[in-house]
Amino acid sequence: MSNTIIATPGPARRADLLTPAELAALGGLEFVARKVVEGFLAGLHRSPHRGFSVEFAEHRAYQPGDDLRYVDWRKFGRSDRFYIKQYEEETNLRSYLFLDASASMAWSSQPETLPTKLWYAKQLAMCLSLLLLRQGDGVGLIAFDDAIRTQIPTRGGRRHWHDLLRATDSLEASGRTDAASAIQEVASRIRRRGLVVLLSDLLVDPEATRLSLQFLRHRGHEVLVFHIIDPGELELPGVSDARFIDPETGDEIPVSVADLRREYREAVDAALREWQQFFASRAIDYLVLRSDQPMVHALRAYLRKRERLG
């Protein structure tokens, strides 16, 4: 009963502010992504972020079927006629979404209540792609594990979103992670500079990955990294002794948790700090996203990035 209430975003609750657990209860990928983006855009009208990159161009007369959200009500008040605000596609930015679909992304510390990191990444990717497409940008998708598994070329247009949606929806997590190979392979084929968005848990070879991202920056791309972390990865579980198994490699480590709890936490902090320092030094935007947090943080980060890109 309570789940139903939480999962139904009423008029007072924007979907972008819902937790992933609540979003997962709403429906499928398309529905959720649309709701999140709509909620996010609705929030923008009340926020100081007025300079949304989709700039107003002109008015035209209202025609049946037009979206009522674009009716200029002020003009209606003055002229007593309906006019629709039309926006100019300001840029033609090409965006590349790199989606980590390795086995580690399929993990959830609370499988019954908390969606996996892959679910979170897929939702976020679809929200971003919807925003980008609405702005008239081109969006491409590269899903990878230790190699590129799916690649959707960069195109614009609303219909392209459905291509992206189908490709993303069918993704299943498997295999090891080799982000560096995927990034370098794609980057070597991209001629036009654009925005590269990496959605990954960054349980990767850090040196190789940094090198590949540095290569992207060197080629003039803007890079935005969403580091998706399950909250269960920030702390060791509440057991005394256990054998921890890597889902990607099958490696096992016997650990006395009590002996290592504090040290593990420090190791996580140090790793995140290293990522942060590296990205800061390379002018790469970096955001740690806990998979139990609403997506509004990620979308705002994207928005800030997009604003800076003009």
Partner 1 sequence: MSFLNPLLLALGVSVAVPLILHLLQRHQGPRLIFPALRYLRRAEKENARQIKLRQLLLMALRLAILILLVLAAARPFLRQSGSGHEPTAVAIILDNSLSSGLIQGEERVLDQLKARALETLSHARAEDRFWVIRAGSPWEPATMLDAAAAAELVRDTEVSAGRADLSAALTRARALLAAGAGERAAEIHLLTDLQANSFDRTAPPTPRGSRNPPVIVWGPSDPAPENVGITALSIDGGVAPRPGDKSTIAVRVSGASSRSEIPLRLILGDRTAAAATADPNATTLLQLTTPSSGIVAGHVELDPDALRGDDRRYFAARVQPPPAVSLAGSPAFLDDAIAVLADAGHVRLAGAEPADVVIAPGGLGLDGARGWTAAIVLAPTSPTELPATNRRLAEAGIPWRFAPPSGTGEARLELAGVDDEILAPLADARLREVYELRAEGGADGQVRLRLQDGRPWALQGELPDGGRYILVASPLSNDATTIPTSPALLPLVDRLTGAWAAARESANEAVPGSRWQLPAGATEVQRPDGTRDQVEGTGQYLVPGRPGVYQILAGDEVVDAFAVNPDPAESELARLDRRALRSTLQGWHPEWVDDPADWVDAIYHQRLGKEIWRPLILAALAVLLIEGLVAASGSTRGAGETGRGRGEAGSPREGMAVAASSGGAGATSGN
- Using only C-alpha atoms, the chain has a radius of gyration, in whole angstroms, of 21
Say if residues 80 and 202 touch (Cβ distance below 8 Å). no
Asked if 213 interacts with partner 1 (CB under 8 A), we say no
Q: Which stretch binds partner 1 (CB under 8 A): 52-60, 135-143, 154-162, 233-241?
A: 233-241
Instruction: By CB under 8 A, tell whether 269 contacts partner 1.
Output: yes
The smaller minimum CB distance to partner 1, of residues 93 and 103, is found at: 103
Question: In this chain, which of 16, 72, 100, 248 binds partner 1, going by CB under 8 A?
Answer: 248
Residue nearer to partner 1 on the CB measure, 16 or 230: 230
Q: Which of these segments, 5-13, 61-69, 138-146, 276-284, binds partner 1 (CB under 8 A)?
A: 276-284
Check binding of 203 to partner 1 (CB under 8 A): yes
Q: Which of 159, 162, 270, 294 binds partner 1 (CB under 8 A)?
A: 270
- Residue 44 CB, nearest approach to partner 1 (Å): 16
Q: Which two tokens stand for residue 90?
A: 């300001």
Select the residue interacting with partner 1 from 16, 137, 145, 201 (CB under 8 A): 201
Smaller CB separation from partner 1, 14 or 160: 14
**Start-to-end C-alpha separation, the chain:** 46
Tokens of 218: 């060197």
What single DSSP character describes residue 71? Answer: B
CA 276 to chain centre: 18
One-letter amino acid at 280 equals A
> Does the protein bind partner 1 through residue 176 (CB under 8 A)?
no
Cα separation, 104 vs 90, whole angstroms: 39
Q: Is 297 exposed, middle or buried (0-12, 13-18, 19+ CB in 10 A)?
A: middle
CB of 206 to partner 1, least distance (A): 9
Residue 68 gets which letter from DSSP? G
Q: Please, are residues 284 and 217 in contact by the beta-carbon 8 Å criterion?
A: yes
Question: Residues near 256 by Cβ (< 8 Å), separated by ≥ 6?
Answer: 240, 241
Nearer to partner 1, 78 or 308 (CB): 308
263 binds partner 1 (CB under 8 A): yes
| Options 47-55, 80-88, 130-138, 271-279: segment touching partner 1 (CB under 8 A) | 271-279
DSSP labels for 34-52?
HHHHHHHHHHHHTSS----
With binding defined as CB under 8 A, does residue 276 bind partner 1?
yes
Provide, rounded to whole angstroms, the least separation between the CB of residue 50 and partner 1: 18
Burial class (CB in 10 A: 0-12, 13-18, 19+), 159: exposed
Residues that bind partner 1 (CB under 8 A): 103-104, 107, 201, 203, 222, 224, 227, 230, 233-249, 251-273, 275-276, 279-280, 282-290, 297, 300-301, 304-305, 308
